[in-house]
Amino acid sequence: MILLFYAIINAAAVVFFVRLKKRLHILEVMMYWFAASYMYQNLSALCYMNFKTLIIPDQLSYELAHFLSRILLYPALIVVFLHVYLGLGSFLAKLLLAVLYIGLLTGLEWMDHWLGVVVHKNWHFWWSLVFWLSTLLVLLGFMTAFRKILFRRNVPK
Amino acid sequence: MNVTFDWNEWFAIFASSIAFLNFLIVRGYFSAAMVVIVVMYNIFLVSTIDYFLIATPFKVYIFGDNPSYELSGGLFHLFMYPSASLLFLFLYDKFELYGHKTVWYILGWTCFALLFEWICVYNRFLVYTGWKLYYSIPTYPIAAVQLILLYRFATRKLLQIGFDNHYK
C-alpha cells in the first residue's frame, strides 16, 4: 500500500515535470537532476548507515518507496525550483520562492517520517531546514557555473 | 561506525589516484561541458546503484571494513568511476571504435572491469555479503552502452547550441 502511494506521487511528479515547459536546456535538466538526487542520497546514506539518525524499515516496499523519491520526486521538485527561479526578477521574489521550497521539501521529508518510510531518530528539526537550504544553494551555484560553461561560444583552437 | 585506516583504504587511495591521473591526461580531449556531463552522470549512477544494493533490505556488499558509508567508497564514486568513464569514451572516440568494433571494445572493457572488481575483492576493498562476481557480468556492458548513448546524445545537443565538443 505504501509503495503504491509513493509510486503514484512519484509518477505524478514525473508527468507534471515532463509536461512543464521549461526554461532549462535538456542537458541542464539532466545535470541538476543528477546533482539534486546525489545530494539527497548522500544525506540519506550518511544518516542511515553512519549516524543512525535515519531509519529505513527492513522491508522491500519501504526501501523502494524511498528509492523512488530520492531519484524522482525530490530531484524533479528541485529542478522545477531552478526553472521558476530563473523566471523571477526581484531578489525578494527569489527569497520567497526559496523559503516556500524549503518548507515544501521539509514537509515531504517529514511526510516520509509520518508514513514510516524514513524515520528520524535523535533528529533536530532545524537540521532538515539547513539541509534543504544548503541543497538549494549548492544547486544554484552549480547552475550558475554550468550555464557559464554551456552557453559560452566556443572558438576552436 | 568502526572505520580503521588500513590496507583497503590505501588501496582505494592508490586506485583513485591512478584513475585521477588518467582523468588529467584525457580530459583535454573533451569540452568542459562534456567533462561535467560525464562526471555528474557517473557520480549519480554509481552512488544510486551502490546505495540501493548496500542499504536495506538487500545488503549484498560493503565497501571497506564495515557496513557504513566509508570515505573509500566516496573516493571511488567521485574519482574512479568518472575517470574510468572518460578514459573509456576517449579511446572509443579517438580511435573511432564504432560499429562492430564497439562490441569488441565493450567486451574488452567488461573483462577488464571484472578483473578490477576481483582485485577490489581480493584487497578487501569490496566485501561481498550476498553478491557474486558473476552477477556483475551483465552490468558492465549495460553501463558501457548507456555511457555511449549518453555521450552521443550530449554531443548532438552540444552541437545544436554551437558547441564543438572537442574544444574547451
CA distance B11 to B123: 7
DSSP B69-85: --HHHHHIIIIIHHHHH
Contact assignment for A59 to B154 by CB distance below 8 Å: no
Query: Do residues B26 and B85 touch, judged by C-beta distance below 8 A?
Result: no
At A107, the amino acid letter reads G
**The pLDDT of residue A78 is above 80:** yes
Contact partners, residue B20, CB within 8 Å, separation at least 6:
B79, B83
d(CA B143, CA B81): 11
pLDDT at B71: 80
Which residues neighbour B121 within 8 Å (Cβ) at sequence distance 6 or greater? B127, B128, B133
CA dist A47 to A21, A123, B43, Å?
36, 10, 19
pLDDT band at B55 (very low <50, low <70, confident <90, very high): confident
Judge whether B41 is closer than 8 Å to chain A, CB to CB: yes
**Nearest CB to A38 within list B32, B47, B55:** B47
C-alpha cell at A106: 521539509
Tell me whether residues B167 and A150 touch, CB distance under 8 A: no
pLDDT tens digits for range B108-143: 999 999 999 999 999 999 999 999 999 999 999 999
Reported confidence tier of residue B168, pLDDT bands at 50, 70, 90: very low
Domain parsing of chain A, residue ranges: 2-18+28-150
Inter-residue contact B167 to A157 (CB < 8 Å): yes
Domain-wise residue ranges, chain B: 7-160
Q: Cα–chain-centroid distance for residue B48? A: 13
Is B141 touching A (CB cutoff 8 A)?
no
Quickly list DSSP for A4-33.
HHHHHHHHHHHHHHHHS--SS-HHHHHHHH
Backbone angles phi, psi at A46, to 5 degrees: -65, -45
Average pLDDT over residues B39-49: 96
- With beta carbons under 8 A apart, name residues in chain B contacting A31: 36-37, 40
The interface predicted TM-score of the complex, written ipTM, equals 0.91
